[in-house]
Structure 1
């Protein structure tokens, strides 16, 4: 399980039926993914816990 998945699960664990909190967390995950993608494209840094498939 990636660090980003663990972070998301920890953040949404106690929200219960609170949809607003879950949506805010989803936007935060999208932002983190965009940053990770930018770092990969710019510097070739693979995010910790990511698994690449062979081409």
Structure 2
């Protein structure tokens, strides 16, 4: 998700987007990321760790 090539957590994505680290922001971001996983756009290797799927 980020240019580091490593999986990203919802909290780290909130920091990157300059969102306040309020619980609701992190949980909403996590829910959106899980939705992208269900559509096959992202992959979730470990629980809560999101990355682009490998071809």
TM-score by length of 2: 0.46
Higher helix share: 1
Higher strand share: 2
Higher Rg: 1
TM-score by length of 1: 0.46
